Amino acid sequence: MREITVSAREAGQRLDKYLAKYLSEAPRSFFYKMLRKKNITLNGKKAAGMEKLEEGDCIKFFLSEETIAKFRGRAGHPFAADMAQKSSLDIVYEDEELLVVNKPAGMLSQRAGREDVSLVEHIGKHLSEEDGIALSGGFRPGICNRLDRNTTGLVVAGKTVGSLQYMNRLFQERLLEKYYLCLVQGRVDRQMHGKGYLVKDGDSNRAEIVQDRIEGAVEIETAYEPLEHALWRGSWHTLLRVHLITGKSHQIRAHLQSLGYPVAGDGKYGGREMCRDFGKAFGVRHQLLHAWQLHLGNAPYLPEKYRGMGLEAPLPEQFRRVLGEMGMKFSR
């Protein structure tokens, strides 16, 4: 028999949701059957699975350790082969509910395949180290926004079920402001506010911006403000502050390319010649696009301590070096 006490971090979710994470390899029919037979109980009583967990609740598993180990699988201890190595997150802000990190280029926000180690796994390891114990598996830290693999900057994670719920809602309802910095080819001399429709091709993982709604298209909206200009190797380049209003996959990169201002270093949307030039001159191997600032707003369901909060992630060193060598003041 195994007994688990629900922590403050895990409270607020339904029992069946908890079990789906704790016994991640088990079909749902298995733990519903175990609930019916009282092989899994909540506070010593039969449960249906719809009960909302509270801190201090007791879940008992009248199952063999072999059965539990079988159905927990890899998720039961995602860092089993690497527990001796410390996680290394660039933390912008952290308290008992939220963790905000500055994601580096090259790291997935979430796993694309079973063997991937993404930002979510690094956050899980950080929290297990912070608590001094491994996470139980009944709660998995989650991120509330995602960035492309080679886009850097702010990612918000919930450390409790409750914080995940209200931060996810904040992003979904767009009751916060998201600002990016990017270097583009071309001279942008005025503020721009663009709307359109984004169509994503899943096979090529490439987006296209169109002006008329078609099947499969999603509406997008983005605002751009030029901060600095530089004439480099005979071509103008502009540092833009981007207000991402809608926030769809590849939105900034595809939208700017459609306007004639591709993001520097972007192999998918920027063109081979520009990428080759930036690679040779600066060693740049990815788009110079950075999720720079978040302003959380004043949603009524947001805890008071977060209302009006502003967060900012410093530019990566390589991005700063490129701006500096181009003579832009922002890098100083």
Spell out the alpha helix ranges (H) of 178-262. 251-259
| Confidence bin at 64 (pLDDT 50/70/90) | confident
Q: Give the tens place of pLDDT for each residue, 147-200.
A: 999 999 999 999 988 999 999 999 999 999 999 999 999 999 999 998 999 999
| Confidence bin at 81 (pLDDT 50/70/90) | very low
What pLDDT score does 50 carry? 92
Q: Is 203 exposed, middle or buried (0-12, 13-18, 19+ CB in 10 A)?
A: exposed
What pLDDT score does 132 carry? 46
Boundaries of domain holding 17:
2-74
The CATH code of the domain that includes 204 is: 3.30.2350.10
d(CA 263, CA 273): 13
25 pLDDT more than 90: no
d(CA 60, CA 209): 53
Task: Residue 82: count other Cβ atoms within 10 Å of its Cβ.
Answer: 12
What pLDDT score does 131 carry? 57
Whether residues 152 and 268 share a domain: the answer is no
| Confidence bin at 3 (pLDDT 50/70/90) | confident
Average pLDDT over residues 15-27: 88
Q: Residue 96, SS3?
A: coil
Q: Is 283 exposed, middle or buried (0-12, 13-18, 19+ CB in 10 A)?
A: exposed
79 pLDDT more than 60: no
Whether residues 318 and 214 share a domain: the answer is yes
Mean pLDDT across the chain? 88
Q: Give the tens place of pLDDT for each residue, 222-239.
A: 999 999 999 999 999 999
What pLDDT score does 265 carry? 94
Q: Give the tens place of pLDDT for each residue, 246-262.
A: 989 899 999 999 999 99
What pLDDT score does 138 carry? 63
DSSP 122: H
For the record, the structure tokens of 269 come out as 């949307």
Q: Residue 197, SS3?
A: strand
Domain finish residue from 172, 196, 223: 172
| Confidence bin at 20 (pLDDT 50/70/90) | confident
Whether residues 152 and 187 share a domain: the answer is no
Residue type (1 letter), 173: E
Compute, in degrees rounded to 10, the torsion defined by CA atoms 201, 205, 209, 213: 30
What pLDDT score does 75 carry? 43
Whether residues 233 and 281 share a domain: the answer is yes
What pLDDT score does 76 carry? 44
Whether residues 299 and 251 share a domain: the answer is yes
d(CA 104, CA 156): 14
83 pLDDT more than 80: no
108 pLDDT more than 80: yes
The CATH code of the domain that includes 42 is: 3.10.290.10
Residue 182 belongs to what H/E stretch?
strand 177-185
DSSP 132: T
Q: Give the tens place of pLDDT for each residue, 273-312.
A: 888 899 999 999 899 999 999 999 999 999 999 999 999 9
What pLDDT score does 66 carry? 79
Q: Scanning the structure block, which residue is given the tokens 């991120």?
A: 143
The DSSP secondary structure of 16-76, one letter per residue, reads HHHHHHHTTTS-HHHHHHHHHTTSEEETTB---S-PBP-TT-EEEE-S-HHHHHHHHGGGG
**Dihedral sign of CA atoms 101, 105, 111, 112 in order:** positive
What pLDDT score does 116 carry? 76
Alpha carbon 93 to chain centroid distance?
15
Whether residues 27 and 90 share a domain: the answer is no
- The count of domains in the chain is 3
Whether residues 27 and 121 share a domain: the answer is no
Share of residues in the chain with pLDDT > 70 (%): 91
What pLDDT score does 136 carry? 54
Domain finish residue from 18, 41, 74: 74
Residue 170 belongs to what H/E stretch?
helix 161-172
Domain finish residue from 74, 106, 123: 74
